[in-house]
Structure 1
Amino acid sequence: MGSVFHGDITVGYEDEGSGEALVLVHGHPFDRSMWHPQTEHFSRAGWRVIAPDLRGYGDSTAVPGTTPLAAFARDLAGLLDHLGIERCVLGGLSMGGQIVMECYRLFPERIRGLVFADTFASAETADGKAARYAMAERLLREGMDGYAHEVLAKMISPATIAARPDVAAHVLRMMTATPPEGAAAALRGRAERPDYTGLLSRVTVPALVVVGAEDAYTPVGDALDIHERVPDSRLTVIEQAAHMPNLEQPDTFNAALGAFLDALP
């Protein structure tokens, strides 16, 4: 575990293993611990795995207001600079996947492979913008607890909640520990994100697209859209998983990611 002062914030991160760099970006409203099964597995498999806390989450500084995806991307670039990493495989889940798209827009030369997990590429709709802004105000007003309990059964499948209470507890713990100011700032920034669908067709590195078969937030159709747009991509649909297949079915997720990494040039 480490931390680095970048610009006006402190960024917490995990840095495990050695070899080529694999950087994993968490979603909302989680933290870097969501990648623990991947950090543990791939750091033992010959990869240097970097899992940062985004600004406003985990051990990183919570900045109120609005956090555009470009700000998250610049934080990641600063962390790569600090760690002396010139190029990496970059992956993200949900909002993290959209941050990965923004990173590819800003500094594609630093990325040798992409992983898009349970995410989508289009800009927000008018209704979606309104909903994100309303949720930001709710979280500031009420805190994270009520929201976290409401969405738990969509973040992970009911079957996972029943069979793996440890995973349910972990997901709930991440959500309730997130500072409302950081979550609200990310929601506002995400509401104003650009449309990345055109960017995907210009991707020149290999990509892996992963999605839980039961994901209600980013359904399989969203993953299929990304897969069809990215020229050199492979798609994996993980059964018995919802929005967080890396935690719900870690062995299956790791197998798909491992096969993708092994096939990289």
Structure 2
Amino acid sequence: MYRAFLHLSFALLALSLAPAQAADREPGIAPREPYGIGLEGFPYPYPVNLLPLVNDGEQLRMAYMDIAPAQANGRVVVLLHGRNFPSSYWAPEIKVLSEAGYRVIVPDQIGFGKSSKPTGELHFDNLARNTVALLDHLQIAKADIVAHSMGGMVAVRIARAYPDRVNHLLLAAPIGLEDYRMYVPPTSTEKILENEDKLTADGYRKQLENNYAPKIPPDAITPFIEARFNIKGAADYMRWLRAFVSSGQMIYREPVVHEIPLITVPTLFIMGADDHNAPGRPNAPEALRPKMGQNADLAKALAAKMPRAKAEVIDNAGHLVFLDAPDKFNALMLPFLAN
């Protein structure tokens, strides 16, 4: 049922998206107007609000969706997105959680999606503080957090810095379960900018299909590709690109794995057995690459060190675990949050 809903949602979304400019679009797609770097023109499944913030002296705006429950249970869930996806990809889980009685808050972190793209560097401390500022703005004292990929690193920092604001922490295929500096040598921002600017929509599709979403139909990941590549025609595209590269440097320079065993709130890792995502692996020495990204094993080892944690592994699922195996994911998520 949920998989059918997922495929229909992405199919409808893909029809409304404007394809990328000629140099970067996939074969057979006609050019249309580019999105803005705040994803202007890219549809989200629910209304988007903007919260003014100041980070390092810069005036910014944090975008978020606030979805009322079908029948309130008095609980709030915050969904935190990954690096390569706009928060709109949470649409299937928003529906599940709303129908289960949760108010659902879905921010785009600063530097991502419909939020501002800062000129300064991104830092997990700022992203965590921004998320708590959003809860304050919405007068939410405590919430459950469900976080995917890079969002898991943000969630770890929130749970460590603000444990009294978190009821339950669910980490869905998080990255940051290892210190990537132990494998990957430092890479200059200029070099990463050059490499990212050369990436084409077709090349990005191959990355997603090979590393993130091998079990998701190709048309269902088209919106992710369009969200990234149809901004290349925007006048301030380089501002977006610098923010995107800064997020990669943040993941590398600000590991959270050493903090995870110190988390005291109830925590559930839900991992895809086939998730071997490891940021920076292509830049690691060849002999070290196979050691990276053993994410299910890393999650189980970390959970064993934590006072109130458990790791569940879903077979035949990858990095987009909640989209790969929605029924199994929801069967684990809902009882955990309700406990």
Are 1:77 and 2:123 matched, yes or no? no
Are 1:185 and 2:246 matched, yes or no? yes
- Percent identity, aligned pairs only, is 25
- CA distance in structure 2 between the aligned counterparts of 1:69 and 1:249, rounded to whole angstroms: 29
Equivalent pairs counted in the alignment come to 259
- Normalised by the size of structure 1, how large is the TM-score? 0.88
Which amino acid in the other structure matches residue 206 of structure 1?
Answer: P
Which amino acid in the other structure matches residue 202 of structure 1?
Answer: L
- Normalised by the size of structure 2, how large is the TM-score? 0.70
Greater share of helix: 1
Kept in 2, the 8 Å contact 1:207–1:234? The answer is yes
Are 1:24 and 2:85 matched, yes or no? no
- CA distance in structure 1 between the aligned counterparts of 2:103 and 2:320, rounded to whole angstroms: 22
Kindly tell me: are residues 244 and 80 of structure 1, through their superposed partners in 2, closer, same or farther at Cα, counting changes over 3 Å? same
Q: 2:179 aligns with which of 97, 106, 123?
A: 123
Kindly tell me: are residues 165 and 209 of structure 1, through their superposed partners in 2, closer, same or farther at Cα, counting changes over 3 Å? same
Deviations 1:77-136 (CA, angstroms, capped at 9, x unpaired)? 111111111111112111110111111222111111111121233333154352584773
How much does 1:25 deviate?
A: 0.6
Which amino acid in the other structure matches residue 130 of structure 1?
Answer: P
Q: Which runs of 4+ in 1 moved over 4 A?
A: 131-135
Are 1:152 and 2:208 matched, yes or no? yes
How much does 1:140 deviate?
A: 5.6
Are 1:222 and 2:298 matched, yes or no? yes
- CA distance in structure 1 between the aligned counterparts of 2:261 and 2:144, rounded to whole angstroms: 18
Kept in 1, the 8 Å contact 2:159–2:265? The answer is no
Deviations 1:47-88 (CA, angstroms, capped at 9, x unpaired)? 011111111111000113420111111110111111111111
Kindly tell me: are residues 216 and 176 of structure 1, through their superposed partners in 2, closer, same or farther at Cα, counting changes over 3 Å? farther
Kept in 2, the 8 Å contact 1:156–1:241? The answer is no
Q: Gaps (5+ residues) in structure 1?
A: none
Aligned to 1:106: 161
Aligned to 1:6: 53
Cα RMSD over matched residues?
Answer: 2.3
Are 1:255 and 2:326 matched, yes or no? no
- CA distance in structure 2 between the aligned counterparts of 1:11 and 1:87, rounded to whole angstroms: 20
Secondary structure of 2:118's aligned partner: coil
How much does 1:45 deviate?
A: 0.8
How much does 1:177 deviate?
A: 5.5
Kindly tell me: are residues 24 and 139 of structure 1, through their superposed partners in 2, closer, same or farther at Cα, counting changes over 3 Å? farther
Deviations 1:144-196 (CA, angstroms, capped at 9, x unpaired)? 73652341123434332xxx234222333344367322211111222211443
Secondary structure of 2:222's aligned partner: helix
- CA distance in structure 2 between the aligned counterparts of 1:195 and 1:84, rounded to whole angstroms: 28
- CA distance in structure 1 between the aligned counterparts of 2:160 and 2:180, rounded to whole angstroms: 18
Q: 75-84 vs 215-224, which deviates more?
A: 215-224
Q: Gaps (5+ residues) in structure 2?
A: 1-46, 232-239, 278-292
- CA distance in structure 1 between the aligned counterparts of 2:123 and 2:218, rounded to whole angstroms: 34
- CA distance in structure 2 between the aligned counterparts of 1:176 and 1:135, rounded to whole angstroms: 20
- CA distance in structure 1 between the aligned counterparts of 2:230 and 2:183, rounded to whole angstroms: 28
| Largest Rg, 1 or 2 | 2
